[in-house]
Amino acid sequence: MNDMTANVGAQERSDSIYFAPLLPWQQMLWSQLTQRVLTQQSLPHALLAAGMQGMGKRAFVWRLVAWLLCREHDTNPLGACGACESCQWLKSGTHPSLQVLPIVSMPINADSDTLQEKPSSAKDKKSAKTTSNSALKIKVDDIRALQPFIYQGGQGMRICVLDHAEQMTVAAANALLKTLEEPQAQVHLFLISDTPAQLLPTIKSRVQQLALQTIEPAVAIDYVTHALGHTINREAVGKMAIEQLIQLANGAPLAAIALAQAPWYGKRSLWLTTWQALRSGKRSSVAASDYWQKQLSIKEFIQLSERMLLDIKRICLGLSELQTDINLSEALASYQPTDSGLETFATSLQQTKVALQQNVQEKFAYDKLMQELACL
Ligand SMILES: [Zn+2]
Protein backbone atom coordinates (compact mmCIF):
# COMPACT_ATOMS: atom_id res chain seq x y z
CA MET A 1 0.00 0.00 0.00
CA ASN A 2 1.29 3.38 -0.94
CA ASP A 3 1.07 5.37 2.27
CA MET A 4 1.29 8.66 0.43
CA THR A 5 -2.05 8.04 -1.24
CA ALA A 6 -3.66 6.15 1.59
CA ASN A 7 -5.58 8.95 3.17
CA VAL A 8 -5.53 11.81 0.74
CA GLY A 9 -9.26 11.44 0.25
CA ALA A 10 -9.84 11.62 3.96
CA GLN A 11 -7.71 14.72 4.32
CA GLU A 12 -9.80 16.48 1.72
CA ARG A 13 -12.90 16.08 3.85
CA SER A 14 -13.88 18.43 6.59
CA ASP A 15 -14.52 16.60 9.84
CA SER A 16 -17.98 18.04 10.47
CA ILE A 17 -19.63 15.58 8.12
CA TYR A 18 -18.77 12.70 10.48
CA PHE A 19 -20.49 14.34 13.42
CA ALA A 20 -23.41 16.20 11.79
CA PRO A 21 -26.93 15.67 13.17
CA LEU A 22 -28.83 12.69 11.81
CA LEU A 23 -31.35 13.66 9.14
CA PRO A 24 -34.91 12.98 10.36
CA TRP A 25 -35.87 10.61 7.54
CA GLN A 26 -32.82 8.45 8.27
CA GLN A 27 -33.60 7.70 11.90
CA MET A 28 -35.21 4.32 11.39
CA LEU A 29 -32.43 3.01 9.18
CA TRP A 30 -29.87 4.37 11.63
CA SER A 31 -31.37 2.50 14.56
CA GLN A 32 -31.76 -0.69 12.54
CA LEU A 33 -28.12 -0.74 11.50
CA THR A 34 -26.63 0.40 14.79
CA GLN A 35 -28.78 -2.04 16.78
CA ARG A 36 -27.45 -4.88 14.66
CA VAL A 37 -23.91 -3.89 15.55
CA LEU A 38 -24.68 -3.31 19.22
CA THR A 39 -26.35 -6.71 19.51
CA GLN A 40 -23.33 -8.40 17.92
CA GLN A 41 -25.05 -9.23 14.64
CA SER A 42 -22.90 -8.47 11.69
CA LEU A 43 -23.61 -5.78 9.16
CA PRO A 44 -23.70 -6.76 5.48
CA HIS A 45 -20.18 -6.87 4.10
CA ALA A 46 -20.95 -4.41 1.29
CA LEU A 47 -23.53 -1.63 1.37
CA LEU A 48 -24.70 0.70 -1.37
CA ALA A 49 -26.06 4.19 -0.75
CA ALA A 50 -27.71 5.07 -4.04
CA GLY A 51 -30.10 7.64 -5.40
CA MET A 52 -30.29 11.19 -6.58
CA GLN A 53 -28.40 14.04 -4.99
CA GLY A 54 -29.99 15.92 -2.16
CA MET A 55 -31.42 12.99 -0.18
CA GLY A 56 -28.50 12.99 2.26
CA LYS A 57 -27.04 9.62 1.38
CA ARG A 58 -23.44 10.76 1.74
CA ALA A 59 -24.23 12.43 5.06
CA PHE A 60 -25.60 9.08 6.25
CA VAL A 61 -22.62 7.06 5.09
CA TRP A 62 -19.94 9.33 6.61
CA ARG A 63 -21.86 9.48 9.86
CA LEU A 64 -22.19 5.69 9.98
CA VAL A 65 -18.53 5.18 9.08
CA ALA A 66 -17.51 7.44 11.97
CA TRP A 67 -19.81 5.60 14.36
CA LEU A 68 -18.64 2.14 13.30
CA LEU A 69 -15.02 3.14 13.84
CA CYS A 70 -15.69 5.03 17.10
CA ARG A 71 -14.16 3.28 20.12
CA GLU A 72 -17.03 4.44 22.32
CA HIS A 73 -19.95 3.53 20.11
CA ASP A 74 -21.40 1.08 22.64
CA THR A 75 -22.22 4.01 24.90
CA ASN A 76 -23.05 6.46 22.08
CA PRO A 77 -25.73 4.80 19.95
CA LEU A 78 -26.74 8.07 18.27
CA GLY A 79 -23.42 8.95 16.68
CA ALA A 80 -19.65 8.88 16.98
CA CYS A 81 -18.40 10.35 20.28
CA GLY A 82 -16.10 12.88 18.65
CA ALA A 83 -13.46 12.47 21.37
CA CYS A 84 -11.90 8.99 21.23
CA GLU A 85 -8.72 8.14 19.37
CA SER A 86 -10.66 7.00 16.29
CA CYS A 87 -12.73 10.19 16.16
CA GLN A 88 -9.56 12.23 16.54
CA TRP A 89 -8.02 10.39 13.62
CA LEU A 90 -11.07 11.18 11.51
CA LYS A 91 -10.79 14.84 12.46
CA SER A 92 -7.17 14.95 11.42
CA GLY A 93 -7.84 12.96 8.23
CA THR A 94 -5.37 10.24 9.14
CA HIS A 95 -7.55 7.29 10.13
CA PRO A 96 -5.54 4.11 9.53
CA SER A 97 -8.70 1.99 9.23
CA LEU A 98 -10.44 4.05 6.55
CA GLN A 99 -9.69 4.06 2.85
CA VAL A 100 -11.56 6.29 0.41
CA LEU A 101 -11.80 6.24 -3.39
CA PRO A 102 -11.56 8.14 -5.63
CA ILE A 103 -8.30 9.35 -4.15
CA VAL A 104 -8.81 12.96 -5.19
CA SER A 105 -12.05 13.70 -3.45
CA MET A 106 -13.45 16.97 -4.67
CA PRO A 107 -16.89 18.32 -5.47
CA ILE A 108 -17.85 17.81 -9.12
CA ASN A 109 -19.86 20.97 -9.23
CA ALA A 110 -21.49 23.58 -7.07
CA ASP A 111 -24.38 21.22 -6.40
CA SER A 112 -22.48 18.64 -4.46
CA ASP A 113 -21.10 21.53 -2.45
CA THR A 114 -24.34 23.19 -1.53
CA LEU A 115 -26.12 19.91 -0.97
CA GLN A 116 -23.60 19.16 1.75
CA GLU A 117 -23.44 15.64 0.45
CA LYS A 118 -19.72 15.76 0.15
CA PRO A 119 -17.54 17.23 2.81
CA SER A 120 -15.32 19.90 1.41
CA SER A 121 -12.78 22.48 2.41
CA ALA A 122 -11.97 25.92 1.07
CA LYS A 123 -9.13 24.33 -0.83
CA ASP A 124 -11.61 22.01 -2.59
CA LYS A 125 -13.75 24.92 -3.66
CA LYS A 126 -10.85 26.73 -5.20
CA SER A 127 -9.73 23.76 -7.20
CA ALA A 128 -13.24 22.52 -8.04
CA LYS A 129 -13.37 24.74 -11.10
CA THR A 130 -10.58 22.86 -12.73
CA THR A 131 -11.83 19.42 -11.74
CA SER A 132 -13.69 17.49 -14.37
CA ASN A 133 -15.60 14.26 -14.02
CA SER A 134 -12.62 12.37 -15.35
CA ALA A 135 -10.74 13.20 -12.15
CA LEU A 136 -13.26 11.04 -10.34
CA LYS A 137 -12.57 7.89 -12.31
CA ILE A 138 -11.88 4.86 -10.16
CA LYS A 139 -9.26 2.80 -11.96
CA VAL A 140 -8.26 -0.82 -11.63
CA ASP A 141 -4.99 0.16 -9.96
CA ASP A 142 -6.95 2.05 -7.30
CA ILE A 143 -8.90 -1.11 -6.48
CA ARG A 144 -5.75 -3.23 -6.50
CA ALA A 145 -4.09 -0.77 -4.14
CA LEU A 146 -6.87 -1.45 -1.65
CA GLN A 147 -6.19 -5.18 -1.51
CA PRO A 148 -3.41 -5.20 1.13
CA PHE A 149 -5.59 -3.06 3.37
CA ILE A 150 -8.57 -5.38 2.91
CA TYR A 151 -6.66 -8.63 3.33
CA GLN A 152 -4.22 -7.57 6.05
CA GLY A 153 -6.22 -9.30 8.78
CA GLY A 154 -5.69 -8.32 12.37
CA GLN A 155 -7.97 -6.77 14.92
CA GLY A 156 -10.51 -4.06 14.53
CA MET A 157 -12.87 -2.91 11.85
CA ARG A 158 -11.61 -1.61 8.51
CA ILE A 159 -13.75 0.39 6.12
CA CYS A 160 -13.47 1.27 2.42
CA VAL A 161 -15.70 3.94 0.92
CA LEU A 162 -16.07 4.12 -2.86
CA ASP A 163 -17.75 7.40 -3.65
CA HIS A 164 -19.11 7.96 -7.17
CA ALA A 165 -18.93 4.18 -7.54
CA GLU A 166 -20.43 4.43 -11.03
CA GLN A 167 -17.14 6.05 -12.06
CA MET A 168 -15.37 2.70 -11.78
CA THR A 169 -13.90 1.51 -15.04
CA VAL A 170 -15.00 -1.96 -16.15
CA ALA A 171 -11.62 -3.35 -15.12
CA ALA A 172 -11.93 -1.70 -11.71
CA ALA A 173 -15.43 -3.11 -11.26
CA ASN A 174 -14.20 -6.59 -12.12
CA ALA A 175 -11.37 -6.28 -9.63
CA LEU A 176 -13.85 -5.16 -7.00
CA LEU A 177 -16.12 -8.11 -7.76
CA LYS A 178 -13.46 -10.48 -6.54
CA THR A 179 -13.31 -8.61 -3.24
CA LEU A 180 -17.08 -8.65 -2.96
CA GLU A 181 -17.09 -12.41 -3.48
CA GLU A 182 -14.57 -12.99 -0.67
CA PRO A 183 -15.91 -11.09 2.34
CA GLN A 184 -13.24 -10.53 4.98
CA ALA A 185 -14.08 -10.46 8.66
CA GLN A 186 -14.22 -6.93 10.07
CA VAL A 187 -14.03 -5.31 6.62
CA HIS A 188 -16.91 -3.23 5.33
CA LEU A 189 -17.31 -1.66 1.91
CA PHE A 190 -19.55 1.32 1.29
CA LEU A 191 -20.43 2.26 -2.28
CA ILE A 192 -22.06 5.62 -2.97
CA SER A 193 -23.68 6.49 -6.29
CA ASP A 194 -25.90 9.27 -7.62
CA THR A 195 -26.56 7.22 -10.75
CA PRO A 196 -26.76 3.56 -9.69
CA ALA A 197 -28.20 2.62 -13.10
CA GLN A 198 -24.63 3.01 -14.37
CA LEU A 199 -23.28 0.38 -11.96
CA LEU A 200 -22.61 -3.09 -13.33
CA PRO A 201 -25.49 -5.46 -12.46
CA THR A 202 -22.94 -7.95 -11.12
CA ILE A 203 -21.77 -5.32 -8.61
CA LYS A 204 -25.31 -4.35 -7.65
CA SER A 205 -26.29 -7.95 -7.02
CA ARG A 206 -23.47 -8.35 -4.50
CA VAL A 207 -24.12 -5.28 -2.39
CA GLN A 208 -27.02 -4.55 -0.11
CA GLN A 209 -28.77 -1.30 -0.86
CA LEU A 210 -29.48 1.04 2.03
CA ALA A 211 -33.10 2.19 2.16
CA LEU A 212 -32.39 5.90 1.86
CA GLN A 213 -34.68 6.88 -1.02
CA THR A 214 -38.03 7.19 0.65
CA ILE A 215 -38.96 10.37 2.46
CA GLU A 216 -42.48 11.05 3.71
CA PRO A 217 -43.67 14.34 2.14
CA ALA A 218 -44.64 15.73 5.54
CA VAL A 219 -41.16 14.99 6.92
CA ALA A 220 -39.55 16.67 3.92
CA ILE A 221 -41.78 19.76 4.24
CA ASP A 222 -41.04 20.01 7.95
CA TYR A 223 -37.32 19.70 7.45
CA VAL A 224 -37.08 22.20 4.60
CA THR A 225 -39.34 24.70 6.39
CA HIS A 226 -37.21 24.53 9.49
CA ALA A 227 -33.93 24.72 7.59
CA LEU A 228 -35.03 27.75 5.57
CA GLY A 229 -36.79 29.48 8.44
CA HIS A 230 -33.79 31.59 9.30
CA THR A 231 -32.18 32.00 5.96
CA ILE A 232 -34.67 33.37 3.46
CA ASN A 233 -37.30 36.04 3.77
CA ARG A 234 -40.55 35.26 5.43
CA GLU A 235 -42.94 35.41 2.50
CA ALA A 236 -40.89 32.82 0.65
CA VAL A 237 -41.20 30.30 3.47
CA GLY A 238 -44.95 29.78 2.96
CA LYS A 239 -46.14 26.19 2.70
CA MET A 240 -46.86 26.55 -1.02
CA ALA A 241 -43.38 27.85 -1.63
CA ILE A 242 -41.85 24.96 0.30
CA GLU A 243 -43.95 22.39 -1.54
CA GLN A 244 -42.92 23.90 -4.84
CA LEU A 245 -39.25 23.78 -3.89
CA ILE A 246 -39.52 20.12 -2.94
CA GLN A 247 -41.37 19.31 -6.13
CA LEU A 248 -38.78 21.12 -8.26
CA ALA A 249 -36.09 19.17 -6.40
CA ASN A 250 -37.85 15.86 -7.15
CA GLY A 251 -38.57 15.29 -3.48
CA ALA A 252 -34.97 15.64 -2.26
CA PRO A 253 -34.97 17.91 0.81
CA LEU A 254 -31.32 18.97 0.71
CA ALA A 255 -31.66 19.77 -2.99
CA ALA A 256 -34.77 21.84 -2.21
CA ILE A 257 -32.82 23.85 0.37
CA ALA A 258 -29.96 24.39 -2.06
CA LEU A 259 -32.48 25.53 -4.67
CA ALA A 260 -34.04 28.10 -2.33
CA GLN A 261 -30.59 29.45 -1.56
CA ALA A 262 -29.44 29.53 -5.18
CA PRO A 263 -28.90 33.14 -6.27
CA TRP A 264 -30.98 32.60 -9.40
CA TYR A 265 -34.08 31.18 -7.75
CA GLY A 266 -35.41 34.59 -6.70
CA LYS A 267 -34.86 35.99 -10.20
CA ARG A 268 -37.32 33.81 -12.11
CA SER A 269 -39.92 36.58 -12.55
CA LEU A 270 -37.16 38.90 -13.68
CA TRP A 271 -36.11 36.37 -16.33
CA LEU A 272 -39.68 36.32 -17.60
CA THR A 273 -39.82 40.12 -17.76
CA THR A 274 -36.53 40.27 -19.64
CA TRP A 275 -37.64 37.61 -22.10
CA GLN A 276 -40.86 39.47 -22.86
CA ALA A 277 -39.08 42.82 -23.19
CA LEU A 278 -36.52 41.29 -25.56
CA ARG A 279 -39.16 39.62 -27.68
CA SER A 280 -41.29 42.74 -27.99
CA GLY A 281 -38.22 44.81 -28.83
CA LYS A 282 -38.63 47.06 -25.78
CA ARG A 283 -35.16 46.14 -24.72
CA SER A 284 -32.02 45.46 -26.73
CA SER A 285 -30.07 42.27 -26.16
CA VAL A 286 -26.98 44.35 -25.35
CA ALA A 287 -28.84 46.24 -22.62
CA ALA A 288 -30.28 43.00 -21.25
CA SER A 289 -26.82 41.44 -21.25
CA ASP A 290 -25.31 44.41 -19.36
CA TYR A 291 -28.11 44.27 -16.84
CA TRP A 292 -27.91 40.52 -16.17
CA GLN A 293 -24.13 40.53 -15.89
CA LYS A 294 -24.68 42.55 -12.72
CA GLN A 295 -27.36 40.15 -11.48
CA LEU A 296 -25.99 36.66 -11.90
CA SER A 297 -22.93 34.82 -13.09
CA ILE A 298 -23.45 33.29 -16.51
CA LYS A 299 -23.51 29.80 -14.97
CA GLU A 300 -26.33 30.83 -12.68
CA PHE A 301 -28.15 32.46 -15.57
CA ILE A 302 -27.90 29.20 -17.52
CA GLN A 303 -29.33 27.25 -14.58
CA LEU A 304 -32.16 29.77 -14.33
CA SER A 305 -32.84 29.57 -18.06
CA GLU A 306 -32.88 25.76 -17.99
CA ARG A 307 -35.42 25.79 -15.16
CA MET A 308 -37.61 28.28 -17.03
CA LEU A 309 -37.32 26.30 -20.24
CA LEU A 310 -38.59 23.15 -18.51
CA ASP A 311 -41.77 24.87 -17.40
CA ILE A 312 -42.26 26.68 -20.71
CA LYS A 313 -42.07 23.28 -22.41
CA ARG A 314 -44.65 21.88 -20.01
CA ILE A 315 -47.08 24.67 -20.78
CA CYS A 316 -46.53 24.32 -24.55
CA LEU A 317 -47.38 20.62 -24.16
CA GLY A 318 -50.62 21.54 -22.41
CA LEU A 319 -49.38 20.51 -18.94
CA SER A 320 -49.53 22.74 -15.90
CA GLU A 321 -46.39 24.52 -14.78
CA LEU A 322 -44.50 23.38 -11.67
CA GLN A 323 -43.67 26.94 -10.64
CA THR A 324 -46.95 28.49 -9.60
CA ASP A 325 -45.46 31.57 -7.93
CA ILE A 326 -44.58 33.34 -11.17
CA ASN A 327 -47.08 34.19 -13.90
CA LEU A 328 -45.74 31.85 -16.51
CA SER A 329 -49.09 30.74 -17.97
CA GLU A 330 -50.18 34.34 -18.25
CA ALA A 331 -46.97 35.27 -20.02
CA LEU A 332 -47.47 32.41 -22.48
CA ALA A 333 -51.19 33.02 -23.07
CA SER A 334 -50.63 35.30 -26.05
CA TYR A 335 -47.43 33.78 -27.38
CA GLN A 336 -45.84 30.35 -27.25
CA PRO A 337 -42.44 29.51 -28.68
CA THR A 338 -42.24 26.72 -31.25
CA ASP A 339 -40.70 23.32 -30.51
CA SER A 340 -37.75 24.11 -32.72
CA GLY A 341 -37.30 27.50 -31.02
CA LEU A 342 -37.17 25.78 -27.64
CA GLU A 343 -34.71 23.21 -28.97
CA THR A 344 -32.47 25.91 -30.42
CA PHE A 345 -32.32 27.82 -27.16
CA ALA A 346 -31.69 24.64 -25.13
CA THR A 347 -28.84 23.80 -27.51
CA SER A 348 -27.41 27.32 -27.09
CA LEU A 349 -27.40 26.87 -23.31
CA GLN A 350 -25.50 23.59 -23.69
CA GLN A 351 -23.02 25.12 -26.12
CA THR A 352 -22.44 28.05 -23.79
CA LYS A 353 -21.57 25.65 -20.96
CA VAL A 354 -18.99 23.98 -23.17
CA ALA A 355 -17.63 27.34 -24.34
CA LEU A 356 -17.21 28.49 -20.74
CA GLN A 357 -15.07 25.44 -20.00
CA GLN A 358 -12.87 26.61 -22.85
CA ASN A 359 -12.51 30.01 -21.20
CA VAL A 360 -14.87 32.01 -23.39
CA GLN A 361 -15.47 35.41 -21.78
CA GLU A 362 -18.61 35.74 -19.68
CA LYS A 363 -19.61 38.98 -21.37
CA PHE A 364 -19.36 37.46 -24.82
CA ALA A 365 -21.38 34.41 -23.73
CA TYR A 366 -24.01 36.61 -22.10
CA ASP A 367 -24.35 38.83 -25.20
CA LYS A 368 -24.87 35.79 -27.38
CA LEU A 369 -27.40 34.16 -25.09
CA MET A 370 -29.46 37.35 -24.89
CA GLN A 371 -29.57 37.50 -28.69
CA GLU A 372 -30.81 33.90 -28.70
CA LEU A 373 -33.34 34.61 -25.98
CA ALA A 374 -34.74 37.52 -28.01
CA CYS A 375 -35.52 35.02 -30.79
CA LEU A 376 -37.18 32.45 -28.55
ZN1 LIG B 1 -15.37 8.22 19.13
Report how far ligand 1's centroid is from the alpha carbon of 72 (Å). 5
| Whole-number percent of the chain with pLDDT over 70 | 85
Are residues 68 and 138 located together in one domain of the fold?
A: yes
Report how far ligand 1's centroid is from the alpha carbon of 162 (Å). 22
Please identify, among 230, 261, 292, the residue that sits at the C-terminal boundary of a domain: 261
| Domain at 166, CATH number | 3.40.50.300
Are residues 154 and 48 located together in one domain of the fold?
A: yes
Are residues 131 and 156 located together in one domain of the fold?
A: yes
With cut-offs at 50, 70 and 90, classify the pLDDT of residue 133: low
Report how far ligand 1's centroid is from the alpha carbon of 330 (Å). 57
Report how far ligand 1's centroid is from the alpha carbon of 340 (Å). 59
Report how far ligand 1's centroid is from the alpha carbon of 68 (Å). 9
Are residues 243 and 299 located together in one domain of the fold?
A: no
Report how far ligand 1's centroid is from the alpha carbon of 41 (Å). 20
Are residues 284 and 310 located together in one domain of the fold?
A: yes
Are residues 272 and 365 located together in one domain of the fold?
A: yes
Please identify, among 209, 240, 275, the residue that sits at the C-terminal boundary of a domain: 209
> What is residue 118's predicted lDDT score, i.e. its pLDDT?
42
Are residues 293 and 201 located together in one domain of the fold?
A: no
pLDDT digits (tens, 9 = 90+) for 3-36: 333 333 443 455 688 999 999 999 999 999 999 9
Are residues 114 and 257 located together in one domain of the fold?
A: no
Report how far ligand 1's centroid is from the alpha carbon of 107 (Å). 27
Report how far ligand 1's centroid is from the alpha carbon of 54 (Å). 27
Min mean pLDDT across 153-157, 232-236, 353-357 is at 232-236
Residue range(s) defining the domain that contains residue 238? 217-261
> What is residue 104's predicted lDDT score, i.e. its pLDDT?
62
Are residues 331 and 201 located together in one domain of the fold?
A: no
pLDDT digits (tens, 9 = 90+) for 156-189: 899 999 999 999 999 999 999 999 999 888 999 9
pLDDT digits (tens, 9 = 90+) for 250-261: 999 999 999 999
Report how far ligand 1's centroid is from the alpha carbon of 83 (Å). 5
Report how far ligand 1's centroid is from the alpha carbon of 254 (Å). 27
Please identify, among 209, 232, 248, the residue that sits at the C-terminal boundary of a domain: 209
Report how far ligand 1's centroid is from the alpha carbon of 179 (Å). 28
Report how far ligand 1's centroid is from the alpha carbon of 124 (Å). 26
Are residues 245 and 284 located together in one domain of the fold?
A: no
Report how far ligand 1's centroid is from the alpha carbon of 87 (Å). 4
Instruction: Check pLDDT > 80 for residue 190.
Output: yes
pLDDT digits (tens, 9 = 90+) for 230-251: 555 555 467 888 999 999 999 9
Q: Looking at the 3D structure of the chain, how many domains does it have?
A: 3
Report how far ligand 1's centroid is from the alpha carbon of 188 (Å). 18
Are residues 170 and 48 located together in one domain of the fold?
A: yes
Report how far ligand 1's centroid is from the alpha carbon of 37 (Å). 15
Report how far ligand 1's centroid is from the alpha carbon of 302 (Å). 44
Cα–Cα distance measured from residue 52 to residue 259, given in angstroms and rounded to the nearest whole number: 15
Q: Which residues surround ligand 1, an ion (CB under 5 A)?
A: 70, 72, 80-81, 84, 87
Cα–Cα distance measured from residue 355 to residue 365, given in angstroms and rounded to the nearest whole number: 8
Are residues 368 and 223 located together in one domain of the fold?
A: no
